[in-house]
Structure formats: structure tokens, C-alpha cells
Amino acid sequence: MTQTSPRSVIRGTGSAVPSTVVTNDDIAKIVDTSDEWITSRTGIRERRVLEKDQAASDLARRASERALEDAGLAVEELDAIIVGTCTADYQFPSLACVLEAKLGAKDVFSFDVNAACSGFLNALSVTDMFIRSGRIRNALVVGTDVLSRFLDWQDRSTCILFGDGAGAAVVSASDNGDRGILSARLQTDGSYAETLYIRAGGSKKPATLETVEKREHSIYMNGKEVFKVAVRSMEEISRRVLDEAGICVDDLSLVVPHQANRRIITALASRLGIPMEKVIVNVDRYGNTSAASIPVALDEVRRQGRIADGDIVLLNAFGAGFAWGAAVIRF
Ligand code: COA
């Protein structure tokens, strides 16, 4: 009898966003921009900004508790907590360790992966490897970011784009059936490292009075370059995972793409030949929440009952690094 490796099944999801809403009109009071400019270039109408006394782990905790409840899994049953984030509470330890303590998890291993906006897909893909190898049975996979803390609120080309949030999925091993992650793939191109990054605060340029005065602790981005490479890369990697899974575009029930910009999403859908009715867009309400964008959107569509058993869903992401990825999942 041949033994097949277990499949990774998404058993429950949860999400959390801050209650403070910042509209385009609010931003137009701070920098020279307008609701019309932001909406037409990005599709973003408003975003959520985390309250000052909260940290990324607080959002992650709320999303995680909802995911565990949705999955009907006790925190004690978790083997691992893997978090995609680039805005952890501290430089170290990892947000995953902070979250583990907040959730009261015991006898687990926890770590962060930093792939910026592709963080959730990276965390999910790594989890899939642990599950397929038989090393773990139940994992909490989280994507959370609080980029509002790293924005230059005087730079109109970036401060309009981002928002805060957290999303989580309970991923479990399944030994039979054809449900679960059919294929997942990650890719990077580090030659673009300085196309989208935070200049100071790392080991290359630690914080000094000068770096603060020069506003080097906030996001720098060449938006046009990001746009171009994002569409091309997400199309390519989406086609690869679909091929590997033996799934054609018409078999897809839904696509849950990273929510960076409505124009990137529509360009991607058009290149893949997927009608927009099958493509989830919530960037209008949350902006780009980085690693949180896919799990927040996924949780919303699951709770709306838009994913039925057997549905095949494509996830794809792109972000700083550049790092990108895609996964095909049968629910
Ligand atoms: N309001 C009004 N005008 C703005 C503006 C704002 N918020 N931001 C930039 N502008 C101006 C620029 O100053 C420039 O003016 P100029 O022609 O007088 O110099 C003009 O608009 C065009 O700027 P440009 O940067 O060329 O705009 P764009 O059409 O490329 O749109 C982005 C900018 C950021 C919306 C677009 O490049 C983008 O969405 N890129 C992808 C970014 C992204 O998703 N990053 C995250 C990936 S994970």
C-alpha cells in the first residue's frame, strides 16, 4: 500500500481590523490630494488605522481567536504558530512568540516570516510543508501588519495606500479526500530590494537623530515599478500553480488576490482571463493591509458563505523584496 502525504486543509478563518476609519477626505486634510485622485488611481476609499495603545499582536490575537473558534479547535491542540508580518511588535522576539503567549498556547513552536505583503502566502506555504512532511497536524497561520506606523504622513504618494489589519487561518492535516492546498509556490527577486523599503532602522542604518529628521523610518516606494512587476509576476506564478494542480482558469470559483490597488487586481484578472465577478476586492474599505490582506478577504468571503465545499480558490500576492507567491486550494 502506498502512503500519501497529508494535505493541508483550511479549517477555520478569522480577521480583525481597527475600528478607526481614515477616509480619503481625512487624508486630503493632511497632504495635497483628493478623494477623486486616490479612488481613480487605487480604488481605495478608506482604510483602518490602529489605535496608539495597540500593537500588531493585539490585532493578530483577535483574528486568531476568531479563526480557532470558527475551526472548533482548542488552542492547546495547536502544534505551530507561523506569522507573516513585517511590522512585528518588536525587532525581536518574533510576533509569533508574543502571540503564542497572548493566546495561551503551550508546547508549540512559533516564528515569523517576513515577506512583506506576501507574508501570509509565505507562512501558509511553509505550514503546508510542515504538514505534508507529517511533522505537525494543526497550525495557526497569521498575516498581520500595522503599516500606518511606518508611513510618512507628509508623503502623498505612499500614505494614501496602506491600512492596518490581521487575518488568520487554522490549517490542519487531512489524510484522505482531495480537499486542501493543491499547489503553492513562492518566488523572490532581491535585485528590487530598494524599490520598496524602509531605509533606516535596520543593521545597515540604525536609528539616529539624523535618520529620524530625514524621515527615513517610513516606507519609500517606486510605485510605477512595483505596479509593472507585480502584475507580470502574479500572472506568471498563478499560471504555474494552476498548471501544477491540473486546474484551468475556468475551474476557479474565486480568486482572492493581495489587495494593493484595484488597478493591479483588474489588470491581473484580465491577463488571466478571469471575470471580475470571481475576483474578491475589498481594497476600497481597507487599503493595502500588507500580509493581512489575503486572510482578511478570505475570512470575509467565507463568512458571507461565498465559498462552498469543493470550490477551488486561487490566492496570489506580491510585495517588497520583491517577493510573490500563489496557492490553489480546494475547500
Ligand atoms: N494625490 C495627488 N497627486 C499625487 C498623489 C496623490 N496622493 N500621489 C502622487 N501624485 C502625483 C505625483 O506627484 C505626480 O505628479 P507630477 O506628474 O506633477 O510629478 C503624479 O501624481 C503622477 O505620479 P505617479 O507616481 O506617476 O502616479 P501613478 O499613476 O504611478 O500612481 C500609484 C501612483 C502609487 C497609485 C501607482 O504607481 C501604484 O499604485 N503603484 C503600485 C503601488 C503598490 O501597490 N504598492 C504596494 C505593492 S505591495
Tell me: the pLDDT tens digits for 281-297?
Answer: 999 999 999 999 999 99
Residue 88 in this model has a pLDDT that exceeds 70? yes
Closest CA to 112 of 301, 314, 291: 291
Residue 306 in this model has a pLDDT that exceeds 90? yes
Which residues are known to be catalytic?
A: 117, 258, 288
Assigned domain for 165 exists: yes
Closest CA to 95 of 59, 129, 67, 127: 59
- Helix 262-272 to helix 223-245 angle (10° resolution) is 40
pLDDT for 3: 63
User: Quick check: helix, strand or coil at residue 304?
Assistant: coil
Residue 221 in this model has a pLDDT that exceeds 70? yes
Mean pLDDT of the chain: 97
pLDDT for 177: 78
Residue 211 CA to residue 311 CA, distance in Å, equals: 49
**Count of domains for the chain:** 2
- 91-105 in b/e burial notation, b at 16+ Cβ within 10 A? eeebbbbbbbeebeb
pLDDT for 127: 98
Probe target for ligand 1 pocket from 227, 234, 258, 294, with the most ligand atoms within 8 Å of CB = 227
Assigned domain for 162 exists: yes
pLDDT for 43: 98
Last residue of a domain, one of 176, 192, 207: 176
Residue 196 CA to residue 45 CA, distance in Å, equals: 23
Residue 290 CA, ligand 1 centroid: distance in Å: 18
Nearest CA to ligand 1 atom 29: 41
Percent of the chain whose predicted confidence (pLDDT) is above 70: 99
pTM (two decimals): 0.96
Assigned domain for 114 exists: yes
pLDDT tens per residue, range 112-166: 999 999 999 999 999 999 999 999 999 999 999 999 999 999 999 999 999 999 9
CATH number at residue 303: 3.40.47.10
Nearest CA to ligand 1 atom 37: 223
pLDDT for 64: 98
Contacts of residue 15, defined as CB under 8 A and 6 or more positions apart, other chains included, come to 63, 66, 165, 166, 167, 168, 292, 295, 296, 299, 300
Assigned domain for 17 exists: yes
The domain containing residue 102 runs over which residues?
Answer: 7-176
Assigned domain for 2 exists: no
Same-domain check for residues 156 and 237: no
Residue 1 in this model has a pLDDT that exceeds 70? no
